Amino acid sequence: MADEGMIENRTFDEIRVGDTASMTRTLREEDIKLFALVSGDVNPTHLDADFAATDIYRRVIAHGMWGGGLISAVLGTELPGPGAVYLSQSLRFIRPVGLGDTITASVTVAEKRPEHSVVVFDCRCVNQNGEEVISGRAEVKAPKDKVRRPRIALPDVHLAEHRGYRRLVEKTTGGEAVATAVAHPCSAAAITAAVEAAEAGLITPILVGPEARIRKAAEEAGKDIAALRVVPAAHSHDAAEKAVALVRAGEARLLMKGSLHTDELMGAVVVSTTGLRTERRISHAYVMDVPDHPVPLIITDAAINIAPTLEEKADIIRNAIDLAHVLGVEEPKVAILSAVETINPAIGSTLDAAALCKMADRGQITGGILDGPLALDNAISAAAAKEKGIVSPVAGQADILVVPNLEAGNMLAKQLTFLGDASAAGIVLGARVPIILTSRADSLRTRLASCAVAVLMARTATKAAPGLPASA
């Protein structure tokens, strides 16, 4: 009986004409994506279901060489096995292989050439219906020495799927680009963020800052800004004030952070006479695209309100609920986080959570379903909530995570980003227009998602971004 934990070859002298070996695999979506990742072959026939539906086979199919790879695996691990040297391979692709097809790859010894220990194999792949999908012939130099080694365990490869952001950007398709005042875009990263969002049809940037520095940054980034409006400003503080003024004048419907510090930009926003404040508390939200999580996850507040009061938390929640509505969540489930899921007078965040839930019961916070206090595990894991006996319409399925303070939110968002391969699109809510916050470290996907969220907010007037009155 073969030892499944070992891999053993068959030497040239042991091999006989007519000997055969095979292996069977079922094609999964992950197989296609991994093959595309390794090979670089991103032909939409294999990866884009909408395109494939219009193509000759009317469905997504595997790369032809995926089946060829199965033949290689048989030759390398079964017959002849370790020590074999591939010399040549011919393949004829007869039928397509689609998702869910079960393919058996087999090799049969057709000829032996003693002079150089060459073995010629007839190769074929058949599907679950017995139909031949690939045929061919291989020449292999067979090993002369016996080899028996432990079978190498393959790593557990996980594909990080960022589908949530793709859907966000798709929601903006077809609408007009939104005029956006970009404050102090004086670095290559800031210019790149603005231009890429413009190229994606999301925004029409108005670049506000020292003109010479803006043009130098564009040159460093390799971006053409000849068609973009530039509003001169003396320095970063001046750029922030002038960008806010453009919004107040109705010339821009969005505000975007460039290469200045967030505090500088927000300082201009919160000025009572010339800023963009509303009756709402201004707050920040991360729209997190977490791999394998079905929808974007909103975390608030992780960037503006350091230690919010109960009243401020109520506005933070209202802003987040408005954002969730714009993202298509009709009745978002709001988890108010703490370290525990029971009320403890020694932990202030549990008391705030209880009060906020009662405020929702009394109609002071509307549009979502609130529950708390909830620990992070039972807010996002139904299994954890069940284990602790928590019966709640929010536990295990939260759309919004309301953190106790900025430190907790910042750490949670960065843990998801750097340990969980999540992406974090940032937006400021509660001002007269949405404010786009991007980071130099953000990927193109994240920068576009931040802009897409803001564009959706701008197109849908809410209390979190009500737009400017005509008299402003």
Q: Can you identify the CATH homologous superfamily of domain 161-458?
A: Isopropylmalate Dehydrogenase (3.40.718.10)
Q: What is the pLDDT of residue 162?
A: 60
pLDDT mean over 308-316: 96
Q: Is the pLDDT of residue 470 over 60?
A: no
- Burial of residue 453 (CB within 10 Å: 0-12, 13-18, 19+) is buried
Average confidence (pLDDT) over 107-124: 96
Task: For residue 187, give Cα distances in angstroms to 192, 206, 210, 416.
Answer: 8, 15, 11, 27
pLDDT band at 432; cut points 50, 70, 90: very high
Residue-wise pLDDT for 154-201, tens only, equals: 887 766 666 667 777 777 877 889 999 999 999 999 999 999 999 989
Q: Using DSSP, state whether 321 is helix, strand or coil.
A: helix
Mean pLDDT of 384-390: 90
Regarding beta strands 132-141 and 85-93, do their DSSP bridges make them parallel or antiparallel, or are they unpaired? antiparallel
pLDDT at position 1:
42
Task: Give me the pLDDT at residue 164, please.
Answer: 64
Region 417-437: what's the mean pLDDT?
A: 90
Tell whether the model's pLDDT for residue 137 goes beyond 90: yes
Average pLDDT over residues 336-355: 95
Q: What is the mean pLDDT of residues 434-456?
A: 85
pLDDT bin (cut points 50, 70, 90) of residue 331 is very high
Q: For the chain, what is the mean pLDDT? A: 91
Tokens of 368: 């979502």
Q: Which residue has the higher pLDDT, 317 or 460?
A: 317
Share of the chain above pLDDT 70, in %: 95
Report how far Cα 354 is from the mean position of its chain's Cα atoms. Answer: 33
The answer for residues whose C-beta is within 8 angstroms of residue 14's C-beta and 6 or more apart is none
pLDDT at residue 300 greater than cutoff 90: yes
Alpha-carbon distance 45 to 88, whole Å? 27
CA 83 – CA 72 distance, rounded (Å)? 13
The 10s digit of each residue's pLDDT in 253-283 is: 999 999 999 899 999 999 878 889 999 999 9
Contact (Cβ atoms closer than 8 angstroms) between residue 233 and residue 274: no
| pLDDT reported for residue 3 | 61
Structure pTM? 0.73
Residue 418: Cβ within 10 Å count: 9
pLDDT at 154: 83
Distance CA 82, CA 31 (A): 24
**Superfamily covering domain 6-148:** Hotdog Thioesterase (3.10.129.10)
pLDDT of residue 444 exceeding 60, the answer is yes
**Domain definitions of the chain by residue range:** 6-148, 161-458
Distance CA 461, CA 472 (A): 16
428 vs 162, 364, 438, CA distance in Å?
A: 22, 22, 11
Task: Decide: helix, strand or coil at residue 210.
Answer: coil
